[in-house]
Amino acid sequence: MHLKFKNKRISGILSILPSKEVNFIDEITNYNFSEKQSVKLGKIMGYGSRRIVHNGTTVSDLCTFGLNYLFDNNLLNKDSFQALILCTQSPDHFIPATSNIIAGNLMLNEDIICLDINQGCAGFEVGLMQAFMMLDTGAINRVVLLNADILSTKVSVKDRNSRPLIGDGASITIIENSIVDETIDLFIKMDGSGALSLQIPAGGFKMPSSAETASLKEDAAGNVRSLDHLVMKGDQVFNFVQTKVPELFNEMLVKLNISKSFFDYFFFHQPNRFMLEKLADKLEISYEKMPNNICEKYGNGSNNTVPLAICDNLGGKVKNENFEVCLGGFGVGLTWSLVKCKLGNLNFCEIINYK
Amino acid sequence: MKDELLTKIAEILEVDHVNINDNLKDFEEWDSLTALSIIALADSEYNKKLTNDLLKEFKTINHLVNFILD
């Protein structure tokens, strides 16, 4: 699907990272693999350090902290936005929506629409889509989009398949109406038949957590996890990404009648360095134009990776300069999406530590 | 074509060379990372979609090579 949005812009991005850092190399002894095997894995996939939350820190904590930082530093006025969207797959509770909790923490006025969205790897693009649609109503002139996940708490420490990837964090993106006559193009597809290739089997209403779902079992490859943990069919996800993203990318180039050299940067979801290098090779894009450093530096934070990649790789530069960028998300859902937009003159673009 | 593929598989398995009758599971380096590397090789250079389930069915190098070059 191809959606077009007019006169909208991103005006600021803030990433909030937990200060606790863990290193892949320190965790090797947790896995049922030889040290040599794990070192080789880390080198090829690009595993380094990750930021993870302390026990008890929630998505609402990270988001509330970040929004207070923006209010306190006069980067965002508390009464200047009418919608608070939170994309997360690690909500504080099933009921109520975590965005409502955040609005309550901040004592926002009642003229606010709080909305949680359950999306992961393409959560930034889906969140932008929702924000743009809200702005199109005419009743809303500024939207705060939160992308936050703390999935490290749901990955088995003995699962070498997923554990070395996953990091935690949150990002806050401000989206508003703009007088500049620009079009943002958003391409999105979903395939529910692959919905279970990335999942947490237990803990929902279909399979509530119990002593049985918490019991650890070893899979054929030697990874140990329970039904309460995140599980990923890495081979299927890899093939999905290498097939579907290039297809959508080519569709975008044809429909917009542009070549890939049009873009200054490709800020894509950051599963790990290996996947992004293979994807860049397939799309024939240089690694410099498609940053792949986030998993290695902070961990793959699911929802949080694209805005974090922008903050880390562009930072303050994007306050004064303009870039043509292609944003990309792909994964859990299965959902995949590409956004062509301009990024520039941001009021802020930075990373802060939580507490 | 076939020799080139055998060389690439040998590189992934970290051996000097492989024979088509070698059993995949006999290689010291045969693990989930090797599997992913072979899946990536099949995709990027031969445009073939391999999965872990398929790899499990292949007993020898020959089975793997025939699938990729088919």
The pLDDT tens digits of the residues spanning A211-230 come to 999 999 999 888 999 999 99
Query: Which chain A residues are closer than 8 Å to B36 by Cβ?
Result: 234-235, 238, 274
Q: What is the mean pLDDT of residues A77-100?
A: 98
Q: Tokens 């792909």 belong to which residue?
A: A330
- The C-alpha torsion from A50 through A42 and A338 to A314, rounded to 10°, is 50
**Residue bearing the bigger pLDDT, A242 or B27:** A242
Alpha carbons A220 and A173: distance in angstroms, whole number: 41
Q: What is the mean pLDDT of residues B62-67?
A: 92
Prediction ipTM score = 0.81
Instruction: Give the distance from CA B34 to its chain's centroid.
Output: 8
Q: Per the CB < 8 Å rule, is B44 touching A282?
A: yes
Nearest CA in chain A to B34: A41
Assess whether pLDDT exceeds 90 at residue A67: yes
Q: Please, where are the H alpha helices in A137-225?
A: none
pLDDT at A32: 85
pLDDT at A335: 97
Cβ A224 vs Cβ A158: under 8 Å: yes
CA distances from A258 to A246, A263, A302 (A): 15, 9, 29
Cβ B18 vs Cβ B3: under 8 Å: no
SS3 content of chain B, % helix, strand, coil (to 5): 65, 5, 35
- Give me chain A's average pLDDT, please: 96
Q: Per the CB < 8 Å rule, is B31 touching A37?
A: yes
pLDDT at A234: 87
Assess whether pLDDT exceeds 90 at residue B2: no
pLDDT at B28: 82
Cβ A52 vs Cβ A23: under 8 Å: no
Q: What is the mean pLDDT of residues A13-23?
A: 97
Cβ A116 vs Cβ A57: under 8 Å: no
Which 3 state secondary structure label does DSSP give B40?
helix
Q: Per the CB < 8 Å rule, is A235 touching B50?
A: yes
Alpha carbons A219 and A197: distance in angstroms, whole number: 15
**Cross-strand pairs, A265:** A325
Query: Which chain B residues are closer than 8 Å to A236 by Cβ?
Result: 51
Which 3 state secondary structure label does DSSP give A186?
strand
Instruction: Give the distance from CA A47 to its chain's centroid.
Output: 18
CA distances from A327 to A184, A232, A240, B49 (A): 11, 23, 18, 26
Q: What values do phi and psi take at A85, rounded to 5?
A: -105, 130
Q: What is the mean pLDDT of residues B17-31?
A: 86
The confidence band for A161, taking pLDDT boundaries of 50, 70 and 90, is confident
Alpha carbons A60 and A92: distance in angstroms, whole number: 7
Tokens of A109: 């006025």
What is the number of other CB atoms lying within 10 angstroms of the CB of residue B4? Answer: 9
Nearest CA in chain B to A275: B40
Q: Which of A12-21, A31-40, A150-159, A282-291 has the lowest mean pLDDT?
A: A31-40
pLDDT at B56: 87
Q: Which of A59-73, A100-114, A340-354, B33-47 has the lowest mean pLDDT?
A: B33-47
Assess whether pLDDT exceeds 90 at residue A169: yes
Number of H helices, E strands in chain A: 9, 17
For A193, which DSSP code?
G
